[in-house]
Structure 1
Amino acid sequence: MGRVTVRRPVVRVGPDGRRSRPDALAAEEPLEIRVGGRALAVTMRTPGHDVELAHGFLLTEGVIGDRADIAVARYCDGVDDQGRNTYNVLDIALADGVPPPDVGVERNFYTTSSCGVCGKAALDAVRLKTRYSPAADPVRVSVDVLAGLPDVLREKQKVFGSTGGLHAAGLFTPDGRALVVREDVGRHNAVDKVLGWALQQGLVPLAGTVLLVSGRASFELVQKAAMAGVPVLAAVSAPSSLAVELADEQGMTLVGFLRGETMNLYTGDTRVE
């Protein structure tokens, strides 16, 4: 498997002058996801939990809705200049009766900031694809529990502690218990890994859960949470305008600027006690 961190020399400059030392960097490598041998998407990710990433990606793109929809996930042959498998191409075989996706090599056809579709088109696309609406989820979570989640997430970010260069996503119960935490150079990949783990565990739709991300809440992340039936999405930074629109339309609770005892409740504030 690929390395999660890479050691590189660095010249550190400070009050005492310059000195050379090794530094740990978060690894970043391409992962090509194929379905039935056909290239579907290429994403830059931190190696590790690739099968979870692929499950989460296919779930949030509306290709699959259950772990039984995937028959086999296997790495394809791909070697570096030393003859070692790079583990950077993953082929997914869908179960019988599951239709293949009709898209090309393009990550998140509807959700990237540069895709060129208008807000209404993006919202309509998610509405049509969502299998698990969180709107009727009666879950409640306290302000105290929400306030403590970022600290729990940071404690479980092992690679971030050595590199300072990774995003994280964590799935929690309403009482603040961490179910799973994943790290990646891409926040969308971290979320895909979390949701892929949940799909493999048979937990989707994710009723009664809180998803926390260690950055801003973009439209893409709200879309992913909605596709998995997550009722509460919290972020330590700001949401985008379209993220708030989508969360409101899907009946989700969206929490932003979750820092210490303060937070902004953008949608679904009745779930927060």
Structure 2
Amino acid sequence: MALASMTGYARATGAAAGAHFACEVRSVNGRGLDIRTRLPPGFDALEVELRRLASARLTRGSVTVSVSVERDTAGGEVFLNRQALETVLQALRDLEGKVDARKPSRDGILALRGVLDQREAPLDPGAEEGLNAAILTAAARAFDELSDARREEGERIGAVLSARIGEIEALVARAEVHPARSREAIEERLRQQLAQLIGDAAAIGEDRLAQEALLLATKADIREELDRLTAHVASARNLIAGGGPVGRKLDFLAQEFNREANTLCSKSNAVELTAIGLDLKAAIDQLREQVQNIE
């Protein structure tokens, strides 16, 4: 399976039972799978099936499904909304004697929004069933196109993730061989610091100096952090190569990367190692930003 992004858009159109329709689906990042539908009046029965189509293809993302239907020919019936008309007439009666204005005409009142409504002529059961089936077929096509678009974007993000993983691996390798990690280097720095403090490092015995250097080396040891970072690199590569809905796992792994980089910086006993740790944190932040887009 390939990696998939959580963002995408697709549209499918069709015609049936004397009507043209369009189905649009769009998705953006989300913690889980959140499906919202926007359907024209009279088509609420399609919602369950549209949700099923989405769930069968997607596992994460905030998804909006919009359906619009337009009849090919004018039809239906016009009816008078008596409640709305009475409300308007009562308002006119309340204004009598208070406002100096010409009385509204009959056609003016009927032109007010809500006084006259138009209803589409209902379809016979067979035509309605055919239209609903055609809309669902178009919706399935739109969801397939959306899935393809998300996979294409996921492929591009996967290349970026691999580049960031390679950068992290190179930085771990640099920290691995850095001479500042050796006990000899720590002992030499300690000797120089003592010389600056007391003027003569020889005042402290070599055995005591070696013990202090060993203690400092133990506190500054980043062997465990480097091993974990190396293991995380391998895990990340396996997840990316395996594909599928691995966004949550990659996000958790990015947090673990960051935890080890923070510990490495806190244990660092040399400016160069600290610089490597900061570069690690920057690469991990870039990795995590991209991981947020993965399904």
TM range (shorter): under 0.3
More strand by share: 1
> So what's the TM-score if we normalise by structure 2?
0.19
Which one has the largest radius of gyration? 2
